Amino acid sequence: MSEAPVLLQVSHLKKYFETGSGHWLKAVDDISFAIHQGETLGLVGESGCGKTTCGRTIMGMYQKTGGLVCYQGQDVHALKGRALFSFRKDAQMIFQDPYASLDPRMTVSDIIGEGLDVHHLVKNRQDRTARIYELLDMVELNHEHANRFIHEFSGGQRQRIGIARALAVNPSFLVLDEPISALDVSIQAQVVNLLKKLQQEQGLTYLFIAHDLAMVKHISDRVAVMYLGKLVEITRSGELYAHPRHPYTAALLSAIPIPDPDVQARREQERIKLSGEVLSPIDPPPGCRFAGRCPYATDLCHEKTPELTNQGDGHWVACFHQLDR
């Protein structure tokens, strides 16, 4: 995937929120990564680590505090007029809760067709209806669903409608903000398989935000691990799961349940159990943000922030005491 051109380049991105009295919550704090055309980058970490804020800042929904987000070589936060209108067509977002992100007063036809109308992608009502039916087919819903309202659908069906809405304007890049976490486990795999199928058919590029590492493994080409506003590790999906180098990544992977009681019992004995307090993201002190919970931390970890460095073969790690391969 590295041979493909870079579609999105994030460089030293920061997003801080003022909490009052001169204090700042550093939700995204100096992170850098690239996403190549046609690939899926999984962005994982605990709740509250800044994943969603990162995705929304990339899309321009939040104004950045610092750094640069370049989409096809253009600074997203500097776009205006026609260029901004074009970016909003080419980059779409699918949200975690489809019921909250879809207007309950609109029919499915109007929800999906809104983008077609705004971007003038159809010539007449007949073409509009035909395109809506085509999109419903793509997400494996029936044509008669077009005239129904959101409350008449299950969670999985609602998320399919959200996907159809995003695809209506023929985007190239999708930010998927925990698109399956609000769904039943039995439905999650169906939605992930649909997303993989659509990506292959339409050459889409994904930023897949999630906290479920088991599911991320199946859809991502590369995975980036985030902890309290910082990226701590980025590498190919298979490499990350086989050879985690950061202690936090290893702890996350050791907690993934396995559907075999005997294997799970052995895994429980090997599980890395973290102790210590989670650091507040409000005005955090110098040093590694994971140091207070890390079993390998030394004085250096509490004094200096480790930089994300390439350890070879595209495996980037931010740690002074990396685990052996």
Of 170, 169, 112, which Cα lies nearest the Cα of 141?
A: 112
Q: Give the side-chain half-sphere CA count within 13 A for 282.
A: 6
Structure tokens at 122: 């159809």
Instruction: Give the strands of the sheet with 74-75, arranged side by side.
Output: 23-36, 6-20, 66-71, 74-75
The answer to whether residue 263 sits within a structural domain is no
**SS3 assignment, position 243:** coil
Domain assignment present for residue 248? The answer is no
CATH number for 22: 3.40.50.300
Q: What is the pTM of this model?
A: 0.91
**Inter-residue contact 179 to 94 (CB < 8 Å):** yes
H or E stretch including 214?
A: helix 213-219
175 located within any domain = yes
Burial of 7: CB neighbours in 10 Å, binned 0-12, 13-18, 19+: buried
Let me know: does 13 contact 57? Beta carbons within 8 Å: yes
**Distances from the Cα of 93 to the Cα of 138, 174, 231, 310, angstroms:** 17, 5, 22, 30
Are 153 and 183 spatial neighbours (Cβ–Cβ below 8 Å)?
no
pLDDT in tens, the chain (325 residues): 447 899 999 999 999 999 988 899 999 999 999 999 999 999 999 888 999 999 999 999 999 999 999 999 999 999 999 999 999 999 999 998 878 889 999 999 999 999 999 999 999 999 999 999 999 999 999 999 999 999 999 989 999 999 999 999 999 999 999 998 878 888 888 999 999 999 999 999 999 999 878 888 889 999 999 999 999 999 999 999 999 999 999 988 887 666 656 554 555 555 676 777 888 899 999 999 999 999 899 999 999 999 999 998 899 999 999 987 6
85 located within any domain: yes
Specify if 249 maps to a domain.
Answer: no
Residue 207 located in a structural domain: yes
**What's the structural domain count of the chain?**
1
Is residue 76 one of the residues assigned to a domain? yes
Helical residues (DSSP H) of 20-143, grouped into ranges: 51-58, 81-90, 98-101, 108-118, 125-138
Q: Is residue 123 part of a domain?
A: yes
282, β-bridge pairs: 25
Which two tokens mark 57? 């800042």
Domain that includes residue 74, residue range = 6-243
